[in-house]
Structure 1
Amino acid sequence: MSQSLSSPVAPSRGVTILAWSLQILLALVFLAAGGAKLAGIPMMVQVFDLIGVGQWFRLVTGLVEVGGAVALLIPGAAAFAGLWLGCTMVGAVLAHLTILPTPAAPAVLLLVLCAFLAWLRREQIGAVLNRGR
């Protein structure tokens, strides 16, 4: 029998430990990546020069990543942070595949991990969707 959003089941202790471990790992990665963008690390400036949209986009992306990293550590927000950062990684994958000369594999891996986290924490999404019922 499949689970629906209308009847959320509390995750097991093992799933909770896995989810928190993944949340902490992703938070560290996105805090570092977003911080590098906000700090104007030369490599990040060059990457966003290649993308060609402007350095304002580097700053916005850095804010999105740092904000997502913080949200990953807020109980009840991890699923939404995973979706938020996953969407950001879709953009990164597309940039790597179409513009940037570097491999897309790291961005793909982060996308998969963010999606997996959102799935692990899906009860948070169900709780929000069922709030008005």
Structure 2
Amino acid sequence: MSIFILIIVLGGGLIVIVLYNLGSLSFVERTRDYATLRVLGTHRNEIRNLTLIENLMTTFVGWIIGIPAGIWFLGQYVSIFSTINLEYTRYFDWKTIVISSVFVWICSLSTTLFISRRVKRIDMVQALKGVE
């Protein structure tokens, strides 16, 4: 049972790290676009909403793909540990899927809030400066 708890904890940590890195990378790649929008008169809240929508869409696509992929991975993982004397079967409960989905969405929203704070600190001159 301790192996399964370790996998759950490492999976939760992986969720946090991947979502934060995806959001941060997206923000860094789009900094010039956000600076251009700010120069054109877009308010900070509108840019924050834009980052929120982008990150939530990314999370939604990953969530939709991740559930069937996770169920498939569980089947593969369990079949590896099955032996002639002892056979494990794939078992998942929809309650567990709902709990993990809620955890993913909470992590996505929290990382989006952390990343959207960076909108205030965009240096317009540096972001719009040409690449030399």
Question: TM-score interval w.r.t. the shorter chain?
Answer: 0.3 to 0.5
Q: Which has the higher contact order (CA 8 A, sep 6+)?
A: 2
